[in-house]
């Protein structure tokens, strides 16, 4: 009897998940998910302005905007920059962070995942890790991330390198 109830519940949930209507966001839009799921009405709610489109239960970020070199100033050092280079093939390179070795990157809805490990550092915490950050803002020139392990309100702000500036990349 319990198995029958569980099976019916699973089929109902699976059926609902597979039949949700989705409206694709316009190309290049940054989309965020509402904190509270819609009630009985499953019709997507769309709110648009020049940079944000909100669609119930759907988060879409234009991956093409993430491709490139993202830099931020090095704390306490004038005219020095650090960051990462995200490439189309899910490869990622650390820029001016010589002990950090990135292995790959992935985008899941509004979450950026960065697989990495420390190299040349003797530490009990030098195993492979996955840095996870929520994308708070993404434009052609700006990337703002909230690392999920950070204190509330902490944000990492990057600007996209548009050429001309020479920085060293770790390969």
Q: 77-104, pLDDT tens digit by residue? A: 988 999 999 999 999 999 999 889 999 9
Best-predicted range by mean pLDDT (26-30, 35-39, 79-83, 123-127): 79-83
The lowest-confidence range among 22-31, 127-136, 145-154, 161-170 is 22-31
Please give the Cα distance from 23 to 58 (Å, whole number). 8
Instruction: Indicate the domain borders of the chain.
Output: 2-55, 63-160
Do residues 160 and 143 make contact, with C-beta atoms less than 8 angstroms apart? yes
13: left (phi over 0), alpha (psi -120 to 50) or beta: alpha
Q: What is the pLDDT of residue 124?
A: 61
Do residues 107 and 61 make contact, with C-beta atoms less than 8 angstroms apart? yes
DSSP secondary structure, 93-105, as one string: EEES-TTEEEEEE
**How is domain 63-160 classified at the architecture level of CATH?**
Beta Barrel (2.40)
Q: Which residues contact 20 (CB under 8 A, 6 or more apart)?
A: 42, 57
Please give the Cα distance from 163 to 24 (Å, whole number). 32
Q: Give the pLDDT mean for 24-41.
A: 40
Beta bridge partners of 47: 54
Encode pLDDT of 137-162 as tens digits: 999 999 999 999 999 999 999 999 98
């Amino acid at each position: 009897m319990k198995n029958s109830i569980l099976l019916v519940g699973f089929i109902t949930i699976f059926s609902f998940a597979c039949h949700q209507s989705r409206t694709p966001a316009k190309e290049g839009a940054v989309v965020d998910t509402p904190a509270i799921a819609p009630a009985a009405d499953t019709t997507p709610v769309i709110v648009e302005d020049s940079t944000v489109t909100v669609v119930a239960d759907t988060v879409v970020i234009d991956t093409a905007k993430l491709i490139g070199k993202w830099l931020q100033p090095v704390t306490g050092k004038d005219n020095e920059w650090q960051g990462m280079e995200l490439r189309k093939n899910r490869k990622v390179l650390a820029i001016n962070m010589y002990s950090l070795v990135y292995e790959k990157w992935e985008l899941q809805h509004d979450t950026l995942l960065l697989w990495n490990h420390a190299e040349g550092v003797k530490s009990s915490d030098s195993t492979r890790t996955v840095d996870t950050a929520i994308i708070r803002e993404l434009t052609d020139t700006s990337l703002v991330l909230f690392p999920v392990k950070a204190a509330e309100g902490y944000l990492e702000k990057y600007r996209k390198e548009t050429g001309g500036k020479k920085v060293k990349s770790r390969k």
